[in-house]
Amino acid sequence: MIENISGISPQLKVFLMSMLPISELRLALPLALTVYHLSFWQAIFLTVVGNFIPAVMIIFVLGWTEKFLSSKSVCFARFFKALFERTHIKHNKKFEVWGAIALISFVAIPLPMTGAWTGALASFIFEIEKKKALIYILLGIIFASAIVAVITLGMEKIF
């Protein structure tokens, strides 16, 4: 989608691509390094910052959005209640045992349905303090960028 937009720099394309859900930096970083041939540190910086921005927005807007929609619609209120209860029952023990490590690891693992977007949602559902959640998510993004960079370039090109 972003790739087809002409007239914008490769840096902006990479930055915007890293903000998208699902692909996040898992797609943007390999493209930055192999297709656009950005420098390693420029690619890391653009993708980490780009991936972090939606997480910040989600953490600070999701609570307000959930309360607003729940107050306006019984359907939304039931949906959010069911979603939160089901998620708490299914995953609460893991978060109690592993705490910060669980959120950092969840964001860091470069697989579908993990990453900053889902991590921000999980931090909201499990009521992790916003400041702590942002730190844990940022650490997870940094670890994810290292993992994706190693997979993309191999160990010898990085070190």
Q: Give me the mean pLDDT over the 72-101 stretch.
A: 81
Nearest 5°: the CA angle 79, 84, 81 is: 40
Q: How far is CA 13 from the centre of its chain?
A: 17
Q: What's the mean per-residue pLDDT of the chain?
A: 89
> Quick one: CA dihedral 135, 52, 117, 84, positive or negative?
positive
Query: How does DSSP classify residue 111?
Result: S
Each residue's pLDDT tens digit, 22-73 = 889 999 999 999 999 999 999 999 999 999 999 999 999 998 998 898 899 9
Each residue's pLDDT tens digit, 112-150 = 889 999 999 989 888 889 999 999 999 999 999 999 999
Higher pLDDT, 19 or 97: 19
Helices (H), 36-129: 40-72, 74-98, 100-108, 116-125
CA-CA distance, 12 to 24, in Å (whole number)? 14
